[in-house]
Amino acid sequence: MEKIEHINYIKAPISKVYEALTTREGLGNIWTTDLTVQNEVGAISDFGFGKDDRVLMKITELMENTRIEWLCTDSDPEWIGTGVSFELFERKNGITAVVLKHFNWRELTEFYQWCNYNWAMFLLSLKDYCEKGEGLPYQEREF
């Protein structure tokens, strides 16, 4: 099994980073503006990326200001059954460390590599949103 793993440091309180990762407003500013999000374990969040590209994520874990985990229930076949987690750690001077993992990939493919790059872009968008008030959702990116 393959796993994508990134870390980024954000100059913002841990509560602000957690909120960005668990609310419609936050995820709409950092990942995609086409979304339906519920902030409770067992709920399915729906993320849209273009005309027919949808990602359904079941929330499997929510530990306030600590950890978020999703299970992909529908998307590209390579994503179905994979998990995405965000672990948050408070550092000195108001810095929050975010560890993003996308795990249970069946194999390392070209799509895996492209997603690896895009998760790094996601973390940069999260950083900009939390620090500057403006992220870069899918609809505003150039590909």
Q: Which of 85, 110, 115 is nearest to 22 (CA)?
A: 85
CA distances from 132 to 12, 45, 128, 139 (A): 10, 26, 5, 19
Using one digit for the tens of pLDDT, what is the confidence trace for 49-61? 988 899 999 999 9
- Report the percentage of the chain scoring pLDDT > 70: 100
Pair 98, 87: CB distance under 8 Å:
yes
pTM of whole model > 0.75? Answer: yes
Question: 127: part of which helix (H) or strand (E)?
Answer: helix 110-132
Query: Quick count: other Cβ atoms within 10 Å of Cβ 100?
Result: 20
What are the tens digits of pLDDT across the range 110-130?
Answer: 999 999 999 999 999 999 999
Full set of structural domains in the chain with CATH: 2-136 (3.30.530.20)
